[in-house]
Amino acid sequence: MMTKIGFSEMLEQLEHNYNRGKYPIMAVLLLNFLTIATCSFAGSIEEKVSTAQDQKSVSITIYNENLALIKDTRNVNLDQGVNRLAWRNVSTQIRSETAILRNLTAPGEFQLLEQNFDFDLLTPNKLLEKYIGKEIKVIRTNPVSGIETSETATILTINEGIILKFDDRIETGTPGRLIFPGVPRDLRDKPTLLISLLNSPQGTHDLELSYLTEGLSWRADYVIALNETNHMLDVNSFVTLTNQSGMTYQNVKLHLVSGDINRAQPAHHINQKMMAFAAESADVAQMKQESLFEYHLYNLPHLTTLAENQTKQVALMSATNIPFNKEYVLEGADYYYSSRHDSINQPYKINVFINFRNTGEGLGIPLPKGIIRVYKKDFQSESQYIGEDYIDHAASNALIRLQLGKIFDITADKVQTDFQQLGGTMQHGSIFESAYQITLRNAKKEAVVVQVREPIPGDWTIISESLPHTKLKAGQVEWKVPVAADNETKLIYRVRVKY
């Protein structure tokens, strides 16, 4: 059998020849195997601990879907040969299979051998669990004399309570203070990435650990203020960051990626409890935008801190005096074009929209998806909330259209005035002809234009109409109906539909 000394001497010779470039790839793989075996066999390599105090820089790229890329660069002192490095202060939701460690100082003299993520954290229950079947000391204090006595006991189980075996009896519960001989090596007070590596030059090295983690997310929120004349608006956007990753990131370089990145579903997730957030006031520096593959990257121009269990807002963009249009839209339905209906004459409410182009000073950049909330000043110059809508990713110069609600002063009645089946059956080759009258009433003090949009199914033809229509798409037609102040207008049309 190979002795411990002979095994180490052979490893030393292999390592020497490896550093001189003598061995091909198979010998390198053999060296890796022997190195890991020696680490396990000898158990004598001192663990080097790297904490956040070693950090030189941290870069975080956060994606839309609860995912972030961490790049943590630290200054670490390494020995020549095999090193066992405990990299502390990593995210508790790290996807350890994505971790990559690079040596920025001497990349050609560095090789990763093995890495493990220790997330089994030190707690009283975990400590008891690790000592099941092992001996501990139990210290009792006499309540009268105050004298302490010590006994040795073996932990039999901790299921539904602790059971201890003494020399002459079995006891349940915790009879006194429990004294453990030490903390097991695989129990950590913080999540730790344990890395075995082979390093050639001894000294201080800049190491970069990059990994993907869950628990970090962002979203865009927009605030729009309409001016008094309802023709111009101001828009401000903030990025809301949420950190549930289980650690604080100090002085980080922050990047945000806007776009829907495809992700394979991981086989296993570390469950995390939902935590309460502390809000932080908004940062005033706006983010810089650039392209990244088919996505868009936003860069914070200065370092920031993302505290654990915290939400934080950072300014994204700001623009003033952007022209906008207001729209009044009446949306119809397609069900009443294939049968007779006598009950569609109930009052309909009109939807109000505003729209503007993503262009002009302060705009013109790709806008990430998010919620836009709209405000307007009242007669006392106090801003009042008037509605909100969700936008998807909006490219430069895109039309942004927001539905704010239903208007009170404009109403509509709809009546089916005629219905005929001209041919076919209800199941095949049907031809229907129907007529409608839509009465629009305007109680406002100014004239308006209402866009009446009807989704007409099948192969349709407008037979007659009181106002000209526009075909928006294959199954939708629109009439723009002017309605004077304190007045009403009737839209009358007849349509033929073939199925």
pLDDT at residue 212, as a whole number: 93
Per-residue pLDDT band for 483 (boundaries 50, 70, 90) equals very high
- Rounded Cα distance between 159 and 52, Å, is 37
Out of 156, 179, 202, a domain closes at: 179
Nearest to 325 by CA among 245, 251, 231: 231
How many Cα atoms sit within 13 Å of 358 on the Cβ side? 19
Residues in contact with 267: Cβ distance below 8 Å, sequence separation at least 6, in sequence order: none
Average the pLDDT over each of 40-49, 362-371, 437-446 and give the range with the smallest value.
40-49
Per-residue pLDDT band for 64 (boundaries 50, 70, 90) equals confident
Q: What angle do CA 341, 346, 352 make, to 5 degrees?
A: 120
Three-state SS at 12: helix
Count how many domains the chain has. Answer: 2
Per-residue pLDDT band for 264 (boundaries 50, 70, 90) equals low
Q: How far is CA 380 from CA 228, 375, 383, 442, 444, in A?
A: 11, 14, 9, 26, 21
User: Is the model's pLDDT at 15 over the cut of 90?
Assistant: no
- Rounded Cα distance between 192 and 138, Å, is 31
Kindly state whether residue 486 falls inside one of the protein's structural domains. yes
Please write the tens of the pLDDT for every residue from 107-126: 888 888 888 887 666 778 88
Three-state SS at 28: helix
Q: What percent of the chain has pLDDT over 70?
A: 81
Kindly state whether residue 34 falls inside one of the protein's structural domains. no
Residue count of the chain = 499
Kindly state whether residue 87 falls inside one of the protein's structural domains. no
Average the pLDDT over each of 27-41, 91-105, 205-219 and give the range with the smallest value.
27-41
User: Is the model's pLDDT at 17 over the cut of 80?
Assistant: no
Out of 135, 162, 179, a domain closes at: 179
To the nearest whole number, what is the mean pLDDT of the chain?
82
**More reliable by pLDDT, 142 or 34:** 142
Pair 372, 451: CB distance under 8 Å: no
What are the structure tokens assigned to 302, written together? 């200065």
User: Is the model's pLDDT at 255 over the cut of 50?
Assistant: yes
Per-residue pLDDT band for 453 (boundaries 50, 70, 90) equals very high
Residues in contact with 43: Cβ distance below 8 Å, sequence separation at least 6, in sequence order: none
Kindly state whether residue 383 falls inside one of the protein's structural domains. no
pLDDT at residue 289, as a whole number: 56
Three-state SS at 62: strand
User: Is the model's pLDDT at 283 over the cut of 50?
Assistant: no
pLDDT at residue 133, as a whole number: 92
Q: What angle do CA 70, 72, 76 make, to 5 degrees?
A: 160
Range of the domain at 426: 326-353+405-498
Average the pLDDT over each of 189-198, 406-415, 451-460 and give the range with the smallest value.
189-198
- In degrees and rounded to multiples of 5, residue 236 shows phi and psi of -130, 140
What are the structure tokens assigned to 123, written together? 């707690």
Nearest to 193 by CA among 98, 54, 278: 98
User: Is the model's pLDDT at 251 over the cut of 60?
Assistant: yes
Kindly state whether residue 304 falls inside one of the protein's structural domains. no
Kindly state whether residue 287 falls inside one of the protein's structural domains. no
Nearest to 495 by CA among 453, 464, 470, 457: 464
Please write the tens of the pLDDT for every residue from 399-426: 999 999 998 899 999 999 999 988 876 6
List the CATH number of the domain containing 466.
2.60.40
Arithmetic mean of pLDDT, 89-115: 88
pLDDT at residue 278, as a whole number: 31
| E runs forming strands in 259-346 | 278-283, 288-292, 295-299, 304-306, 310-323, 325-331
Per-residue pLDDT band for 492 (boundaries 50, 70, 90) equals very high
Please write the tens of the pLDDT for every residue from 27-43: 444 555 555 554 444 34
* Beta-bridge partner residues of 154: 135, 165
Exposed, middle or buried by CB within 10 Å (0-12, 13-18, 19+), for 257? buried
User: Which element (helix H / strand E) includes 222?
Assistant: strand 216-226
User: Is the model's pLDDT at 160 over the cut of 50?
Assistant: yes
Arithmetic mean of pLDDT, 51-58: 93
Residue that has been written with the tokens 């090789």 in this structure: 111
Kindly state whether residue 346 falls inside one of the protein's structural domains. yes
Q: How far is CA 387 from CA 354, 390, 403, in A?
A: 11, 11, 8
Kindly state whether residue 216 falls inside one of the protein's structural domains. no
Out of 149, 179, 209, a domain closes at: 179
- In degrees and rounded to multiples of 5, residue 106 shows phi and psi of -135, 75
Residues in contact with 488: Cβ distance below 8 Å, sequence separation at least 6, in sequence order: 439, 440, 441, 442
